[in-house]
Chains A and B, each alone.
Chain A
Amino acid sequence: MDVIPIKSIKDIPTEEDIFPGTPTCAGCGGLLALRHCLKALGKKVIIVNAAGCFTLLSIYPFTPFQNSWLYTAIACAPAGAQGVRDALDILIRKGRLDPEEDLKVVVLTGDGAAYDIGLASTSGAIYRNLDFYYICYDNEAYGNTGFQWSGATPFASKTGTTPAGRISPTGTELSKKNLFEIWRSHKPPYLATISPAHPVDLINKFKKAEQYKGPKLFINLSPCPPGWATDPSHSAMFAKLAVDTGIWALKEAICGDVRHTFVPKKFRPVEEYLKGQGRFAHLFKPVRQEEILAKIQEMVVQYWNEVQDNESIKK
């Protein structure tokens, strides 16, 4: 592998590919990550977008991008990517488009599209080995409609459709769907989780992914101030805490082989991540729900124990 990884944020290009002044919410963790993703991808890009928060990035007659854009619908951005990729290949093969004009095809979806309604079209595109990138900005709920439960919502998060109350003090009873493993079962050449708080890791993952033809998939944990009920200035902090507590594992899978790209030296207690977020406030007030807090910590510990077993066995 000839990829030379970058070492620090000083190595990230300073040129911006997405202009400021978008209608996304202040402190959008998804936009922060997308900004880094585009720096890694360059300008020869077409984003195929699914309905979600980022649909509002391009509103007639404005677009914040220097690259191309196609809005589809919520369930089918990967199918749109299939059409664009196939058409570009046909045009180049038949000599109707200069290969210099070729584009990287990038699907951009929220977690509702990725985990739920668009899962079939995503599975189809990965299975067909479509040569594309897929960026899921995962804020763990249907954010654009005001934060309702999705398949990505974690255990004990409160959402508009899983409110915490006397009968259901937990909020969300189900655990977050394991999209990473669902995608990995298709054996795409490259698959990774990313975080806006780890831009060097993010950029290096895109650099690595670029060498592969086929699906290159990314899930970004995206702090969402209005949905998570956090201060917009704290988004990077929460993104970092998610990694430092072990809740959001930074990892990659190359042709199915998993490797964690960042393991905290000392894991911080999950409470530090949960405490400041309004979506978990019911775990602390009016009474501390010790069992739930313990269960969340236990889930994290169990995950990393399994990681240690698996990855040390490999070594």
Chain B
Amino acid sequence: MTKEMLTGNAAAAWGVRLAEVDYIPAYPITPQTEIIETLAKWISAGVLDARFVTVDSEHSMITAAGAASATGVRVFTATSSQGLLYGFEMLYAVAGWRVPLVMVNVSRGLSAPITLEPDHNDILAARDSGFLQIHCETCQEVLDSILMAYRLAEDERVLLPVFVNMDGFHLSFTREPVEIPDLEKAKMFLPAYQPRHAFFKASQPMAQGVAVIGGPAYSYFKYQMHLASIKALEVYNEASKEFGKIFGRSHNTIEGYMIDDAEYILVMINSFSTLGKAAIKEARAKDIKAGLLKLRLLRPFPESDIVKAIKGAKAAAVVDQNISVGKGGILHSEIAGAICNQKDKPLLLSFIGGLGGKNISPQEFEFIIDCMVKAADTGEIPAPRLLYTETEWKEMDRLKKMAGKL
């Protein structure tokens, strides 16, 4: 084991290297490109025995990845934002093929307006595709999650592709100390891929991805995917335990931060959770019993873990770094769905922030926590809030003035 300062992208590449991936179809897009460049460099240097091919689009890339996985090799690929949407049709297709490939998405806001910094509308658009989704806060989580993702995907009780998500720039280009496991230990955790359900060879012809006619046949296969995904919760927990035994650290479906006695809970995901945690510390210093719930596994949705974690709290605020235009925060709806039939459920507040990488300042977190306290006191729940500071508003005014619009 060695410890190195790695970017999120480099940590992803290390996860792929330790998984001894066979095949990497690729297509460049910011801020993901460092991953595929690192892998290409290692293949060229002979330290990773894989085939790398740059194809003509993300649509082709996901197709090639799925087809190779259906032939029986271990496959990795990565994309981001516009690229994910360009290949979108094939996400559903390869998930339906039940191929256990792993794909990193480096989150980035979606056009228009075209931008570079992160929010989660890209990865959440893929929420219902059949891919499992693991979301990362730290560079260490990125590396570890890739090993866990293969373990999960290739388990015969699951056989679904997995997304590992990290935030563009904020994690992809941020260096953090990362423990790089020994290859031998990685292999103990993740044995070589032995496909028993999907392969192509002359002696055993197989038709894959075939059409069905009629709702019953279609529903039959869709329900199977759903049940396999739900089963993945149990498989995830097994894998997480064994990961802990081998590597001395583990990552659960959710992470609670100062949550055990918390009365006010922030619900967050990915790298902005770090900002949320700092705000919780501040609140605790002021004797507010605040805590944070970070979602790591989003599909399958760890509903009972979430319910348990926030049960008994006075209020919870979901900070959505995404926007379902005309509805609001996507995760807010998911959490609301999870707790709606529970007794002893907290009041649930909705905030949207961090779109296109917009910062969420300590003052905004303070405001969110304050809203929770007030809601608990009065029983009145404020309308969903779109976080935006006065400084940011004034800056937009300044830009509009420059553009001659004010």
Contact = CB atoms under 8 A, between A and B. Distances in A.
A90 interface: yes
A48 interface: yes
B59 A79 contact: yes
Interface stretch (A63-71, A148-156, A163-171, A282-290): A63-71
A50 to B, nearest CB: 10
B205 A76 contact: no
Contact of A87 (B61, B73, B93, B212): B73
A72 B51 CA distance: 22
Given A82-B64, A87-B23, A121 B211 contact: no
A91 interface: yes
Contacts of A60: 210-212, 217
Interface string A45-63: 0101000000110111001
Contacts of A88: 71, 200
B63 A83 contact: yes
A66 B59 CA distance: 29
Interface in A200-235: none
Interface residues on A, range: 35 or more
Given A65-B207, A73-B89, A124 B56 contact: yes
Interface stretch (A99-107, A185-193, A261-269, A291-299): A99-107
B326 to A, nearest CB: 29
Nearest to B25: A83
A196 B56 CA distance: 32
Contact of B205 (A56, A66, A89): A66
Contacts of A63: 207, 210
A75 interface: yes
B60 interface: yes
Nearest to B52: A86
Contacts of B50: 90
A88 B73 CA distance: 8
A40 interface: no
B59 A72 contact: no
B55 A59 contact: no
Interface centre among B51, B65, B68 (most CB of A within 10 A): B68
Contacts of A67: 205
A96 B72 CA distance: 10
Nearest to B70: A70
Nearest to B24: A86
A76 B59 contact: yes
A89 B211 CA distance: 28
Interface in A96-151: 96-97, 100-103, 120-121, 123-124, 128
A100 B202 contact: yes
A58 B23 contact: no
B285 interface: no
Given A91-B73, A94-B22, A86 B60 contact: no
Interface in B254-274: none
B252 interface: no
Contact of B67 (A65, A79, A101, A103): A79
Interface string B59-93: 11101111111111101000000000000011001
B100 to A, nearest CB: 13
B205 to A, nearest CB: 5
Contacts of A270: none
B207 A69 contact: yes
Interface in B134-179: none
A217 B207 CA distance: 23
Contacts of B51: 86, 89-90
Interface centre among B50, B51, B73 (most CB of A within 10 A): B73
Contacts of B217: 60
A43 B59 CA distance: 30
A90 B25 contact: no
B213 interface: yes
A46 B210 CA distance: 13
A120 B203 CA distance: 33
Interface centre among B49, B202, B208 (most CB of A within 10 A): B202
Interface centre among B25, B55, B70 (most CB of A within 10 A): B55
Interface string B203-230: 1011111111100010000000000000
Contacts of B70: 70, 83-84
B68 A86 contact: yes
A247 interface: no
B27 to A, nearest CB: 10
B59 A121 contact: yes
Contact of A90 (B23, B206, B208): B23
A249 interface: no
Nearest to B50: A90
Interface centre among B25, B65, B205 (most CB of A within 10 A): B205
A78 B25 CA distance: 13
B44 interface: no
A66 B53 CA distance: 30
Contacts of A197: none
A176 interface: no
Nearest to A104: B202
Given A59-B212, A63-B210, A87-B22, A76 B60 contact: yes
Nearest to B67: A83
Contacts of B401: none
Contacts of A124: 55-57, 60
Nearest to A51: B211
A38 interface: no
29 contacts: A46-B200, A58-B207, A63-B210, A70-B208, A72-B209, A73-B63, A73-B89, A75-B59, A79-B25, A80-B66, A82-B64, A82-B67, A83-B23, A83-B67, A84-B67, A84-B70, A86-B23, A87-B67, A90-B51, A90-B68, A90-B73, A91-B72, A91-B73, A100-B203, A103-B202, A120-B57, A121-B57, A124-B56, A128-B55
Given A43-B202, A83-B66, A94-B22, 7 more contacts: A67-B205, A69-B207, A71-B208, A83-B67, A86-B68, A101-B202, A120-B57
